[in-house]
Amino acid sequence: MTTRRLVLTRSAAVIGAASSGLLLPEIVRAQSDKVRVGFMLPYTGTFAQLGVAIENGFRMALNEQGGKLGGREVEFFKVDDESNPAKGIENATRLVQRDKVDVLVGTVHSGVQMGIHKVARDTGVLNLIPNAGVHIATRAQCAPNVFRTSFTNSQPTLALGKPMMERGHKKAVWITWNYAAGDEAFEGFEKSYTEAGGQIIKKLGLPFPNVEFQALLTEIAALKPDAVACFFAGGGAAKFLRDYEAAGLSKNIQLWGSGFLTEGVLDAAGDAANGVLTTMHYSDSLDTPRNKKFRLDYAKTFKLQPDVYAVQGYDTGLLLVKGANAVKGDMANKQALYAAMRGAEIDSPRGKWKMSPSHNPIQDIYLRKVENRENKVIGIAGKAVADPATGCRMA
């Protein structure tokens, strides 16, 4: 009696496992005729526009290949990550286990990225990061199957110190939100600015996403530094720009920032942003044929102006195309796939860039100045800037 029940339950378990795909040999999946691409991006909430721009850019890169990857049709799966770190692992697992995606594209929010990162490391699924700049993903926890096509949080600020010193700004105050991205941006600024000979006279911070800057702006006015450097993004950035001007600081103290300060907020900030200097791996106004063509194509396809996020999504697509073409669509041939992506040189609207050994772009960082609600490129702040990739050991 006992043994018969045991046999029954075990067979049931085996059938269950087989039908859910656990026991199917790897080859069966590889033979399915479509490449399965999973988007895990924010489609609602504060970052919704970023998610849409990334997906648009990605699809555009694939469309340029006739919508195929290495000659195979592509099937898309989408999950709204809601920029909610608490659901990061669950959502990523859904794409990997249920939808059996060959590649997971995501995401914007660094906290959610950490959830994806855990799933990518545990399951070995190919993960392409189109935005989130959290350091650890390409540093101590770098992985052969994780590639980033955007930036690390300290990459733009690694190019900030030199141009500040060149303009004679020897004493600076740093201000940001006290959270991971702010701390990581500071790391780049501290390194580049002190190495160039600058002195950080005070480091100011406030809780994320608090935007009551008044007390800190008063302090800046009292300290009278040569310049202020900062990291802010989104709605808070617009508010900071307006308050900085309203406090009368913009007349006397030059404001510098990681480029996200002026991305997508120039209309909201209005004239308050005029003259602000930032460093960033892209600018709408980059005067290259490659960028102009991209912007025209994008605007025609989506009836929208592309931004840095669209470019990053586009580059994610370009990178995957390079990999898939090298293995003729056989996404199971991981060694060759990763080798092709590691060695890829991406001809991006932001300029050509290469993948670093830790799988993060080595790219030029531009110096930009806001003029009439536009980020004008006025020079290159850092040539071929790479993240230090501290602690990365590829297995």
Using CB under 8 A as the criterion, which residues of the chain lie in contact with other proteins when the complex forms?
44-46, 48, 178, 202-207, 209-212, 214-216, 218-219, 221-222, 224, 234-236, 238-239, 242, 246-249, 252, 268
Cα 306 from Cα 302, distance rounded (Å): 9
Give residue 300's Cα distance to chain centre.
24
Tokens in use for 146? 């994780």
| AA identity, residue 20 | S
* Minimum CB–partner distance for residue 232 and other proteins (Å): 12
Residue nearer to other proteins on the CB measure, 328 or 373: 373
3-state helix vs strand vs coil in the chain, percent to 5: 45, 25, 35
- SS3 of residue 232 by DSSP: coil
Residue 148: what are its φ and ψ, rounded to 5°? -110, 135
Residue nearer to other proteins on the CB measure, 131 or 176: 176
Residue nearer to other proteins on the CB measure, 270 or 388: 270
* Minimum CB–partner distance for residue 204 and other proteins (Å): 5
Residue nearer to other proteins on the CB measure, 222 or 395: 222
* Minimum CB–partner distance for residue 160 and other proteins (Å): 20
- SS3 of residue 334 by DSSP: helix
Cα 139 from Cα 89, distance rounded (Å): 20
* Minimum CB–partner distance for residue 38 and other proteins (Å): 24
Tokens in use for 295? 């912007």
| C-alpha distance from residue 288 to each of 134, 308, 344, 347, 387 (Å) | 29, 15, 21, 12, 25
* Minimum CB–partner distance for residue 324 and other proteins (Å): 35
* Minimum CB–partner distance for residue 53 and other proteins (Å): 15
Residue nearer to other proteins on the CB measure, 12 or 246: 246
Taking a C-beta distance cutoff of 8 angstroms, is the pair 172, 227 a contact?
yes
Tokens in use for 139? 């540093």
Residue nearer to other proteins on the CB measure, 11 or 252: 252
Residue nearer to other proteins on the CB measure, 176 or 278: 176
Cα 57 from Cα 305, distance rounded (Å): 11
State whether the Cα torsion 245-282-297-80 is positive or negative: negative
* Minimum CB–partner distance for residue 166 and other proteins (Å): 25
* Minimum CB–partner distance for residue 239 and other proteins (Å): 5
Residue nearer to other proteins on the CB measure, 166 or 212: 212
Tokens in use for 91? 């959502």
Taking a C-beta distance cutoff of 8 angstroms, is the pair 185, 151 a contact?
no
The DSSP code for 101 is: -
* Minimum CB–partner distance for residue 205 and other proteins (Å): 6
Find residue 199's DSSP bridge partners.
171
Residue nearer to other proteins on the CB measure, 307 or 330: 307
Residue nearer to other proteins on the CB measure, 41 or 249: 249
* Minimum CB–partner distance for residue 45 and other proteins (Å): 5
| C-alpha distance from residue 146 to each of 108, 378, 384 (Å) | 15, 33, 21
Give residue 236's Cα distance to chain centre.
19
